[in-house]
Amino acid sequence: MTKVTVAKGDGIGPEIMDATLEIILAAGAKIEIEEIEVGEKVYLAGNTSGISNESWDIIRRNKIFLKAPITTPQGGGYKSLNVTTRKFLGLYSNVRPCMSLHPFVETKHPVMDIVIVRENEEDLYAGIEHQQTDEVVQCLKLISRPGCEKIVRYAFEYAKQQNRKKVTCFTKDNIMKQTDGLFHQVFDEIAQEYPEIENEHWIIDIGAAKMADTPEAFDVIVMPNLYGDVLSDVAAQITGSVGLAGSANIGEECAMFEAIHGSAPRRAGQNVANPSGLLQGAIMMLNHIGQTDVAEKVQNAWLKTLEDGIHTYDIFKEGTSNQKVGTKEFAQAVIANLGYKPSKLKSVSYANSSALNLPKYIRKPAAKKELVGVDLFVHWAGTNPNELAEKLKKIELDGIQLSMITNRGIKVWPDGFNETFCTDHWRCRFKPTESTTITKIDIYQLLKNAIDQDIDTIKTENLYSFNGKAAYSLGQGQ
């Protein structure tokens, strides 16, 4: 018996959760359910995180969490419980299988069976944002080596376990050479450890276009958080309905399983929602806790039900479907099919699923890190970069000089173009001349001189080299 925390959520949540639990219990799932309340009611009672401390205790104790979608109330101050849960519990891997059920569910892509493995904790979802000038706000994109290693290894281990042939990586490292560059580099390193699995990398824009056009060319796709968030919805939707896909959020200690869609409030309370997405999440949960026989039984019964043409409204199509049913009737049909396999769709077998080999991250020895310059970010409402350069030259130190000014990344001094549009946010790079070095005391002195010259410095970024290699971006056009 495995203890599982269950949250029935909001909108269609309670209906699809009841249907899901009924099916898996009828199939013989050996689980003990501990229910908690999260979401709208908790938010509206004044708890801006949408969950109480007692509920956290239960989730952390049971470690396995099956969650229906929740409604995040509109308006300021409410934190997304999904993002918080993933990050608090270290659920670094978000696995989203998206498979066509042609010809039983209408889709433009009859041959599609892909799994998106989305990094779940970092990237722009660190949520670190600041307004720095009247005109400019920033969001920090954080990508870490442990984050990349864990998610890429997860993708390859998953591919190996599921007998999949290829892992593709999507990034935009032609532009973001440091952040997406690290993700790509770690992908190339870890791919070497799995010679039996094909690997490839696509720039995300053309990769995404190809995925939406010829999904049959892909198998497992691993990507950073934001790209994975967007593309997994695209992938689920093009199989026929976003209501068909489930997702597993896996961490080293805990795991959370859910549908990929939201609480669809307009459909709530009408017994119409498709419980398949949450059921797929529950099947992944059963596999995760080792009840593979039950998972297999449920999945085959579900496939057979869809094959029989018993469809909820979202996938019902005159001519293809046989019977339009509600949430409860769909669940009853799946239960009636327990023990049966689909005859045309491929049935599944999870019997020999081996465990994933996911060693703990081991920190590498520290590299030789050297300070080689500094970027001062300045709020200045002028328009002519030459004028700003004149002001900045007054704060230079002996042997430490202004080397470049950029605006939104593009070099505007020296030798800028008049045509370049400039905001009030300037990156001003100071570097030592060849015969000198720079220290943090020098940065402090530069900042002090800037105050004396009435220059509004809003932040600094130190420029480092690691093992002799420059580890910062050049100005565009430099």
How far CA 55 is from CA of 10, 21, 65, 85, 131, in Å, comes to 16, 20, 11, 11, 35
Within 13 Å and on the Cβ side, how many CA atoms surround 161?
A: 17
Q: How far apart are CA 248 and CA 97, in angstroms?
A: 9
Q: How far apart are CA 35 and CA 119, in angstroms?
A: 28
Nearer to ligand NAD, 84 or 457 (CB): 84
Nearer to ligand NAD, 81 or 446 (CB): 81
Question: Residue with CB nearest ligand NAD?
Answer: 262
Smallest gap, in angstroms, from Cβ of residue 90 to ligand NAD?
Answer: 18
Q: What are phi and psi of 416, to 5 degrees?
A: -80, 175
**Which residues, numbered 438-457, are part of the site for ligand NAD (CB under 6 A)?**
none
The single residue among 51, 242, 256, 443 that binds ligand NAD, judged by CB under 6 A, is: 242
Smallest gap, in angstroms, from Cβ of residue 196 to ligand NAD?
Answer: 35
Answer whether 183's CB lies under 8 Å from 125's CB.
Answer: no
Smallest gap, in angstroms, from Cβ of residue 303 to ligand NAD?
Answer: 18
Mask for 308-327, x = binds ligand NAD (CB under 6 A): ------x-------------
Nearer to ligand NAD, 69 or 373 (CB): 69
Nearer to ligand NAD, 242 or 254 (CB): 242
Q: How far apart are CA 75 and CA 361, in angstroms?
A: 39
**Which residues, numbered 70-109, are part of the site for ligand NAD (CB under 6 A)?**
70-72, 82
Mask for 110-129, x = binds ligand NAD (CB under 6 A): --------------------
Nearer to ligand NAD, 191 or 256 (CB): 256
**Which residues, numbered 244-273, are part of the site for ligand NAD (CB under 6 A)?**
258, 261-267, 273
The single residue among 215, 243, 281, 373 that binds ligand NAD, judged by CB under 6 A, is: 243
Smallest gap, in angstroms, from Cβ of residue 266 to ligand NAD?
Answer: 5
Total interface residues for ligand NAD by CB under 6 A? 21
Nearer to ligand NAD, 258 or 296 (CB): 258
Nearer to ligand NAD, 232 or 299 (CB): 232
**Contact flag: residue 229 with ligand NAD (CB under 6 A):** no
Nearer to ligand NAD, 146 or 265 (CB): 265
Smallest gap, in angstroms, from Cβ of residue 80 to ligand NAD?
Answer: 7
Smallest gap, in angstroms, from Cβ of residue 16 to ligand NAD?
Answer: 6
Q: How far apart are CA 351 and CA 115, in angstroms?
A: 20
User: Does a cis peptide bond (omega within 30 degrees of 0) precede residue 365?
Assistant: no
Stretch that binds ligand NAD, among 57-65, 68-76, 92-100, 184-192 (CB under 6 A): 68-76
Nearer to ligand NAD, 267 or 431 (CB): 267
Nearer to ligand NAD, 37 or 456 (CB): 37
**Which residues, numbered 274-303, are part of the site for ligand NAD (CB under 6 A)?**
274, 277
The answer for residues whose C-beta is within 8 angstroms of residue 106's C-beta and 6 or more apart is 240, 315, 317, 320
Residues at the site binding ligand NAD, with contacts judged by CB under 6 A: 12, 16, 69-72, 82, 242-243, 258, 261-267, 273-274, 277, 314
